[in-house]
Amino acid sequence: MAVDIKKSKASQDFVPLQEIRDGIAITKDKSMHIVLMASSLNFALKSVDEQDAIISQYQNFLNSLDYSVQFFIQSRKLDIESYLDTLRESLEEQSNELIRIQTREYIEFIKSFVKSANIVSKTFYVITSYIPPLVSSRKKKNGGLLASLSGILQTSKPNEEGKYIPDEEFEEYKIQLWQRVNSTATGLARAGVRVVPLNTEELIELYFSLFNPGETERGSAPQIG
């Protein structure tokens, strides 16, 4: 079957992102989003009273929201290459032959175990969003889910500096968004969940891994202390 190349679309047309600026993801409808990486919580190991307290605080957090948040869990195969590289370096520097043999066997054991067990790591994210007033009023005027989707796919034109939202408006909207982020972080902290916002580089890495699941992920995610 012949494919009409002229009618084919570029891959960028299917990506809802317009730009990433100051750690904020801006979609094609000019809505702004900050992604928070969240710590995990071993709920099963808590006492009954602690579990009840966590549930109560989380319920209070949800009831206090007057804006929408999204929860996202990313599962990916555990990458142990950096750990194995460290072991290989230690192996090269080791002079004791017995320890060299044990280290070599340990490396092979780790490789086979991770491969057979298909171990995955999970990362938890909370996305806090802000829709600028003009965008929000346009969506209400048009109405409906289809109108919202068409707004996301609508392409905005950048200014001379390549920015899709003017600096003055961006700074104003950013203040509103960060107020929501701080409120989200405070509410989750009361439930025992710590969060840290992703910066621009980390956002690029995250979205690249989401749109390119077959590629090897690079860089490192921020650590939550």
- Spell out the SS3 assignment of the chain: CCCCHHHCCCHHHHCCEEEEECCEEEECCCCEEEEEEECCCCHHHCCHHHHHHHHHHHHHHHHHCCCCEEEEEEEEECCCHHHHHHHHHHHHHCCCHHHHHHHHHHHHHHHHHHHHHCCEEEEEEEEEEECCHHHHHHHHHHCCHHHHHHHHHCCCCCCCCCCCCCHHHHHHHHHHHHHHHHHHHHHHHHCCCCEEECCHHHHHHHHHHHHCCCCCCCCCCCCCC
Q: Give the model's pLDDT for residue 76.
A: 75
Q: What tokens does 121 get? A: 């790591």
pLDDT of residue 223: 46
Task: Specify the pLDDT at position 167.
Answer: 83
* pLDDT at position 222: 47
Contact 24, 127 (CB under 8 A): no
By CB neighbour count within 10 A (0-12 exposed, 13-18 middle, 19+ buried), where does 24 fall?
buried
Q: How many CA atoms lie within 13 A of 90 on its CB side?
A: 14
> Treating both helix axes as pointing N-terminal to C-terminal, what angle do 167-190 and 48-64 enclose, rounded to 10 degrees?
150
Question: Can you give the pLDDT at residue 185?
Answer: 95
pLDDT at 218: 43
Low-confidence ranges of the chain (pLDDT < 50): 1-3, 5, 137-139, 141-155, 160, 216-225
pTM of the complete model: 0.66
Closest-CA residue to 197 (of 125, 123, 122): 125
